[in-house]
Structure 1
């Protein structure tokens, strides 16, 4: 008696009867796929797609059962209905074992084992170490192939393909909801989604059947001079191992620690220096301890007259350029510390007036203007902090301005 099915279109596409065996379906696909492959038969794209779709459904016992009972309407979503599912060229390459049958045509499926995922670790590095270079030791935990069973999970021959999901790791649950049929793909409950089963009596004691064990390894991370935050150091093939999979890489991502005195922008360093008023006017020496412990003696010349907020530059005293011989620059922003109120007598102030440049004359007021005498008062710390909340942005603007115009930027300040 002929097998009763809801629809026959997929069987007709492969030119087989609904009661055809798995072997008959496989032979039919082989014959027709070779005949209608686009590389051999240009213009047969639609026919080739229909053949591929039919084979993808009918070669899967669960999909075939659904199709026989409900037709194409039952093959929806993850079941691969509506001419969806695997790409026809990928299915062809998988069936025939690789690179196409017609001299490089189609889209061959990549050969060889899959590659595992990369594992990233963040490594915090001080600015001093980025300036001088350093080798750090980093302990990482990774999975390695179990040596007790050579990655089999049990004794040789004890690992079998899961009989419920046939090694796919997933099962399809069909639910009848009134006139509708709902199909849900889920991890196979029999094998927990791995596609294999191991007799508990022969399971590896070392890895408990997991095929891998945890291992700690020490990596030597070589930090080159001038490396920047966000740069990566790659240890190829050092990530987790799994049977049949090429290990990925361990990727170390540099994260620069904040420095108490220097800020880095590219290969340049930014430093804020506080000097007193007498040094700003009469000159002196500023000491800056560099990142390699050298002390820079910065000479401020007498009469140079450093202004509050003025920026100067030390050529070649910035960060080393990574893998180049160049050095960045160091930009110094001067904050001038003024004396406290009422710091001297009127007599001493008169002496200052005799030394300092003359006062700028006060412009004469027009006749008839009403004047009012007012008194300055200090701003409390709370309001001062609020007004200075954008100080970092202003600092960045100062740096950018200096970088664009070079060390002569101070000439623009009055």
Structure 2
């Protein structure tokens, strides 16, 4: 007779529909793989047998065929509209041959309606069996993560590699964790808040379209420069003597060039000097750049000798306003 479905469900051959429901509920909850992480393979096998037994015995037509012909007869039978000359239980060219249903489908269907007729839902991997059937095109909420970039990377452009771990179903539909390397090409001029989207790179769950994975650009602080839109700002301290007599500034740009800037005019407190086209690239047109803004801070001496004061009076008495 093959597999003994009555023995698997722990019921007699005269079991009623209510007997089948009570026994299936008790055994399915006991052997569900999600509740048996330590002996997962054994639980999967038992859970599959229990669900197959209930699927057959709870269906009057399947149960009748099984009682008369056993498992082999059941699986050799086609269900549909009987044709003339066909077998006693509907062997026909227009029917479909019985195959065991997926255990999770049987389980979800049972608990979505419940043995008492009330609506009940079992959750697996965060998604209900009922939801898995009904959601269809539902998509998980996007996942955002910061992508820290140096000012040099945002100035010159760069390629960053990000390792992610995500949960996907294996060949048996069970969740497994896989690692993946994502390549992100940073374009010159990108600003803080720029978003890079990798569609459906989130975890895969039953009945739900995976979430998009979004990286959001964030700027790391720089030791010399500060960004202001498309401009770069640098604070430059100079002495009172340099402010009055002039000096030459030497700066290393974000792409490694040496920039020589002569300052010949008198620098008054709060003065700013703009160097054209030495700021950040403009992302829509990287051939264009913002400005480099030099903000001067004049450092006054903390004290002067009598002789120095006398010299300054003599030198500055004829100064032109």
TM-score by length of 1: 0.43
* Structure 1 segment 120-269 matched on structure 2, within 5 A: 120-147=144-171, 149=172, 151=173, 211-269=174-232
Per-residue CA shift, 1:36-80, capped at 9, x if unaligned? xxxxxxxxxxxxxxxxxxxxxxxx978x978xxxxxxxxxxx99x
How many Å separate the matches in 1 of 2:252 and 2:319? 39
Partner residue in 2 for 1:41: none
Per-residue CA shift, 1:64-121, capped at 9, x if unaligned? 978xxxxxxxxxxx99xxxxxxxxxxxxxxxxxxxxxxxxxxxxxx995332332222
How far off is 1:317 after superposition?
1.1
Change (3 A) 1:350 1:111: closer
How many Å separate the matches in 2 of 1:111 and 1:244? 6
Change (3 A) 1:61 1:241: closer
Unaligned regions of 5+ residues in structure 1, if any? Answer: 1-59, 67-77, 80-109, 152-210, 361-413
1:277–1:338 Cα contact (<8 Å) kept:
yes
Partner residue in 1 for 2:312: 352
Aligned length: 195
How many Å separate the matches in 2 of 1:316 and 1:114? 48
Partner residue in 2 for 1:336: 298
* Structure 1 segment 82-101 matched on structure 2, within 5 A: none
Unaligned regions of 5+ residues in structure 2, if any? Answer: 1-111, 121-133
Aligned partner (choices 261, 266, 281) of residue 305 of structure 1? 266
**For 1:264, what is the secondary structure of its paired residue?**
strand
How many Å separate the matches in 1 of 2:186 and 2:262? 34
How many Å separate the matches in 2 of 1:130 and 1:308? 32
How many Å separate the matches in 2 of 1:61 and 1:350? 101
How many Å separate the matches in 2 of 1:299 and 1:345? 32
How many Å separate the matches in 2 of 1:357 and 1:219? 68
Aligned partner (choices 274, 277, 282) of residue 321 of structure 1? 282
How far off is 1:236 after superposition?
1.6
**For 1:129, what is the secondary structure of its paired residue?**
helix
How many Å separate the matches in 1 of 2:276 and 2:211? 43
2:136–2:207 Cα contact (<8 Å) kept:
no
Partner residue in 2 for 1:395: none
Regions of 4+ moved over 4 Å: 357-360
How many Å separate the matches in 1 of 2:169 and 2:191? 35
TM-score by length of 2: 0.55
